[in-house]
Amino acid sequence: MSTFPWLTVAGVIPLAGAVVIAAVPSAGAAGDAAQRGRDKLVKRVALVVSLITLAVTIAMALRFSPGGPDFQFTQTDQWIPQFGVHYAVGVDGIALVLILMTTVLMPVVVLASWNDAEGGSGPAGEKPPRRSVKTYFALLLVLETMMIGVFAATDVFLFYVFFEAMLVPMYFMIGSYGVGQRQYAAVKFLLYSLLGGLLMLVAVIALYVYSARGGHQGTFLFSQLTHLSLSPVTQRWLFLGFFVAFAIKAPLWPFHTWLPDAATAAQPGAAVLLVGVLDKVGTFGLIRYCLELFPSASHYFTPLIIALAVIGILYGAIVAIGQRDLKRLIAYTSVSHMGLITLGIFAMTSEGQTGATLYMVNHGFATGALFLLAGFMITRRRSQLIADYGGVQKVAPVLAGLFLIAGLAGLALPGLSTFVSEFLVLVGTFTRYEVPAILATVGIILAAIYILWMYQRTMTGPVRDKIVGMPDLNARELWAVGPLIALIIVLGVYPQPVLNIINPAVHQTLVQVHATDPVPPHPATALHQNGGAR
């Protein structure tokens, strides 16, 4: 296998792009026209860098062998040898598809965020924050490096570093460039995440200490920690340290309250990365670290986590129905969807975990498209309130049509990508936990209510006075959201290539956690149990 450092290169490219953008001088006394020219240059550099990163990850993915080693494109170098810390990266099928999702979303976000730094989607009458355009796009690229790193890390300490470092660019993107109560939302996001990160840090240090027992050299390498022998009680405490951090990041009910505030205050592009990618770090962490490092504790806490997931599915959907703010409604739908993903993970079946992983990708594309289209509407109307819209489909039919497709993906319409993943999650859960699966299915009915009612209130009916003359999507906006709509349709019709990548990694996870799929009873056995019914 090639020893080319694919993952390191993919992570370094956006970081180098951020440095180049930071080096672009300000126009100074040259005037506004010169500054606009520099800003346009910065945006183009960010777009080109994100496209190069996407090209590199696609080239890497084409070299990935689903039937090969569990982790591929591995690279391990000593970082802090005194403490057993390594720069270690590698991907299995689960991490690979999430990195691909990240690099697909980034150029889309750059295009869609073309005017966000100037306060392009803020409410009418609100003075846009005075921040430089180059800082905003540099933060976007730094965040991309962190997101690639957190999915690729195979050293637990390195993972923790990326996990915490992601907070910094997102904090500034919300607090400095957001709208409404942006500073409150940014601080709440940061405090919740830091609390979870602190608990995980304690568990990470404990893992190192336990790995050094018996005179061994302590290590943070994931491949060695999976073979660490821990007592059931120790596993449970360490599991909780990781789980709370990931439940906050996902977010899982009742750790979710930061998300609606942060997503509502963030610019649409930042909200896409927050809900589309950063949230997936939580569910990815549940699979990679909670299940594989602490298999005994995973089984012990499964009933509790399934209960929290079901509550989250129903709670998020019910609260979404009552929202008046467009972005807040979409944020609550994500709380419901993340509950469904968590349910699939802890069903401990191959269908459930495959569906959950596929759902992570599909949710990133579907909710990303929904946030972007909502952002385009808000830019035109300068309002996030649903009541301020009506009749949009008559004046902007393309925007309304794409919004409908993204919305239908949100309610898992057959033929669109989310249906496949949601179906697998429910089937995989039902084979082991019938009642939670039935309750989760109610969430589909509620999803139809909040999505279709939102569409009806914003897009249909008489055209409101301030909607008259609303322009339809321009070429840049179509290029931004078009690829996501195309992926939603393509993966709904033909998800097999992605499933082929995911399935071996899911199988390995279930082996590590000592879980097997339920075996259906043999027909003859079932007849015997039923008294030989004829």
Closest CA to 336 of 356, 319, 313: 313
pLDDT averaged over every residue in the chain: 84
Q: What is the mean pLDDT of residues 98-126?
A: 77
pLDDT of residue 125: 47
Tell how strand 85-91 and strand 72-80 pair up: antiparallel
Distance from C-alpha of 63 to C-alpha of 3, rounded to nearest angstrom: 12
Structure-token pair, residue 455? 């569409």
Closest CA to 42 of 19, 24, 16, 15: 24
What is the reported pTM? 0.87
pLDDT band at 488 (very low <50, low <70, confident <90, very high): very high
Share of the chain above pLDDT 90, in %: 19
Residue type at 436?
A: P
Whether 36 has a pLDDT exceeding 90, the answer reads: no
Q: What is the mean pLDDT of residues 317-327?
A: 88
Whether 120 has a pLDDT exceeding 60, the answer reads: no
Please tell me whether residue 85 adopts helix, strand or coil conformation: strand
Question: Between 218 and 87, where is the model more confident?
Answer: 87
Distance from C-alpha of 66 to C-alpha of 504, rounded to nearest angstrom: 7
Structure-token pair, residue 35? 């500054």
Q: What is the mean pLDDT of residues 40-68?
A: 88
Whether 514 has a pLDDT exceeding 80, the answer reads: no
Say if residues 509 and 353 touch (Cβ distance below 8 Å).
Answer: yes
Whether 521 has a pLDDT exceeding 90, the answer reads: no
Distance from C-alpha of 448 to C-alpha of 407, rounded to nearest angstrom: 9
Distance from C-alpha of 255 to C-alpha of 323, rounded to nearest angstrom: 19
Q: How many CB atoms lie within 10 A of CB 199?
A: 17
- Of 294-303, 345-354, 457-466, the range with the lowest mean pLDDT is 457-466
pLDDT of residue 1: 42
The model's pLDDT over 217-257, given as tens digits with 9 standing for 90+, comes to 778 888 888 887 888 888 889 999 899 999 998 888 888 88
- Helices marked H in 24-66: 32-62
The model's pLDDT over 338-365, given as tens digits with 9 standing for 90+, comes to 999 999 999 888 888 899 999 999 998 9
Residue type at 471?
A: P
pLDDT of residue 28: 57
pLDDT band at 262 (very low <50, low <70, confident <90, very high): confident
Q: What is the mean pLDDT of residues 281-290?
A: 90
Structure-token pair, residue 91? 């991907």
- Helices marked H in 347-414: 350-381, 392-395, 397-410
Please tell me whether residue 153 adopts helix, strand or coil conformation: strand
pLDDT band at 522 (very low <50, low <70, confident <90, very high): low
pLDDT band at 130 (very low <50, low <70, confident <90, very high): low
pLDDT of residue 49: 92
pLDDT band at 27 (very low <50, low <70, confident <90, very high): low
pLDDT of residue 122: 52
Question: Between 451 and 129, where is the model more confident?
Answer: 451
Say if residues 401 and 482 touch (Cβ distance below 8 Å).
Answer: no
* Letter string b/e over residues 378-409, b meaning 16 or more CB atoms within 10 A of that residue's CB: bbbbbbbebebbbbbbbbbeebbebbbbbbbb
Question: Residue holding tokens 């569906």?
Answer: 355
Distance from C-alpha of 404 to C-alpha of 451, rounded to nearest angstrom: 9
pLDDT of residue 119: 56
With a CB cutoff of 8 Å and minimum separation 6, the contacts of 119 are 126, 127, 128, 129, 177, 179
Q: What is the mean pLDDT of residues 453-478?
A: 83
pLDDT band at 23 (very low <50, low <70, confident <90, very high): confident
Distance from C-alpha of 383 to C-alpha of 392, rounded to nearest angstrom: 14
Whether 415 has a pLDDT exceeding 70, the answer reads: yes
The model's pLDDT over 161-186, given as tens digits with 9 standing for 90+, comes to 999 888 888 888 888 877 778 888 88
Say if residues 388 and 466 touch (Cβ distance below 8 Å).
Answer: yes
- Of 29-33, 222-226, 421-425, the range with the lowest mean pLDDT is 29-33
Question: Between 6 and 119, where is the model more confident?
Answer: 6
Closest CA to 334 of 252, 453, 245: 252
Please tell me whether residue 64 adopts helix, strand or coil conformation: coil
Closest CA to 277 of 148, 424, 411: 148
- Helices marked H in 113-231: 133-152, 156-165, 167-175, 182-211, 222-225
Where exactly are the structural domains of the chain?
6-529
Distance from C-alpha of 241 to C-alpha of 231, rounded to nearest angstrom: 16
Structure-token pair, residue 103? 């690099």
Distance from C-alpha of 361 to C-alpha of 97, rounded to nearest angstrom: 7
Q: How many CB atoms lie within 10 A of CB 113?
A: 27
Whether 533 has a pLDDT exceeding 50, the answer reads: no
Distance from C-alpha of 234 to C-alpha of 298, rounded to nearest angstrom: 12
Question: What is the sign, positive or negative, of the torsion defined by CA atoms of 48, 49, 50, 52?
Answer: positive
pLDDT of residue 487: 92
Rounded to the nearest 10 degrees, the angle between the axes of helix 326-346 and helix 295-321 is: 150
pLDDT of residue 58: 93
Examine residue 69 and say whether the peptide bond preceding it is cis (omega within 30 degrees of 0). no
pLDDT of residue 123: 52
pLDDT of residue 15: 92
The model's pLDDT over 323-343, given as tens digits with 9 standing for 90+, comes to 888 888 988 988 898 999 999
pLDDT of residue 39: 75
